[in-house]
Amino acid sequence: GWPKEFGSTGDDVAYDLKEAESGNIVIAGQAGVSGDDVPSGTQGGAGDYWVFKTNASGTIISGRNKVYHGSNTTYEQDYARSVVVDCVTGEYIVTGFCKSCYPVDFDFSALYMLKIPVNFGTPTEEEVYGYEGERDDFGSYNVIQAHEVFETCSSTSGFLSLGLQHPDGSYGCFGGQHDFWTVLTDNNLAPNDFTLACENSDYGSAFGGKKKDNGHSAVQICDGFLLTGLTKSNNKDLSCTLCQVTCNHYECTPAPETEDIWIAKIDYGTGELAWNESIGGTGNDGAYSLKRLPDGTFVVAGYTT
């Protein structure tokens, strides 16, 4: 019966789950050390993507339990943050943060996106996204299926990842803090390239100001995507016109030192910012989850101080 514990002697964390076929549950997160529930193949305790499937009673299904990581064993702190079930094939698309995907001696994260078959065999597709050649952090907090025709599942449906990039501060509009970062792919996880909103990301679009802006959750709407997370920027004096946070709850100068919930709409084809809104008070406020309801409205969940 429930509740259930899963793990071994290391630190093990579940970040997301989805209902799979026949009432089974696929869970994605981070594994520490192999043993007990954690399968063999971990890199030694610092963290790997861990994906496993249980039945409706919470028992791990035999052969449906694997860890995944990059080739860099020096920096091996990887963790899967989101999983979605492909509406066509039933496969599992997993995204997160991967330090072992960077070359040796680069202590930075990349977006590691993989597609796992229903039988948990070798991934049918794998892609690593992030700025090529620079020491910048990238990652994904959420992945959703993106349909060319709204709410219509087809073999051309791709995937949208939302997370953050954390450049080193030398690139004008990116500043020295996090920005929302989106990557749109086709069904094979290859880039279905947005018009590049900012110049220093190899794929996708980035939005934010000169302070921390984290993208946590996304939904598709009829003509684009809604993104939500938090913003600390409210700074419109930027060299890149699409990297902009609208000032709502604070005076724009001086820049605020507290966070707001930030909701932004981007267009489907170009990834360009259509509108944005910040929500919050004088303390720290942020959003972690955004869902579309059957009546076309939206519910946002997060925190407020």
pLDDT at 12 over 50: yes
Please write the tens of the pLDDT for every residue from 88-128. 999 999 999 998 888 766 678 889 999 999 999 999 999 99
Nearest to residue 301, comparing CAs of 209, 211, 230? 230
Decide: 264 and 227 in contact? Cβ < 8 Å: yes
Per-residue pLDDT of 212-271, as tens digits, reads: 889 999 999 999 999 999 988 764 433 344 344 443 333 344 555 788 899 999 988 888
pTM comes to: 0.89
Query: Tokens at residue 119, please?
Result: 């039988």
Calpha distance 216→280 (Å, rounded)? 16
Tens digit of each residue's pLDDT (9 = 90 or more) over 57-74 = 999 999 999 999 988 877
Counting residues of the chain whose pLDDT is more than 90, the rounded percentage is 51
The neighbouring-strand residues paired with 272 are: none
Using pLDDT thresholds of 50, 70 and 90, give the confidence band for residue 44: low
- Residue 280: predicted pLDDT: 85
Q: Which residues in the chain belong to E strands, given as ranges?
A: 13-19, 25-31, 48-54, 60-68, 78-85, 92-98, 111-116, 125-129, 137-146, 158-166, 179-185, 205-207, 213-221, 224-231, 260-267, 273-279, 285-292, 298-304
What's the pLDDT tens digit per position in 137-167? Answer: 889 999 999 999 999 999 999 999 999 987 5
Q: What are 97-106's pLDDT values in tens digits?
A: 998 888 766 6
For residue 275, the cross-strand partners are: 265
What is the Cα–Cα distance from 165 to 58, expressed in whole angstroms?
A: 35
Encode pLDDT of 169-211 as tens digits.
444 444 457 788 899 999 999 988 675 444 445 677 778 776 7
Residues whose CB falls within 8 Å of the CB of residue 295, separated by 6 or more in sequence, listed in order: none
**pLDDT confidence tier of residue 133, bands split at 50, 70 and 90:** low
**What local confidence, expressed as pLDDT, does residue 191 receive?**
87
**Band of pLDDT at residue 291, cut at 50, 70 and 90:** very high
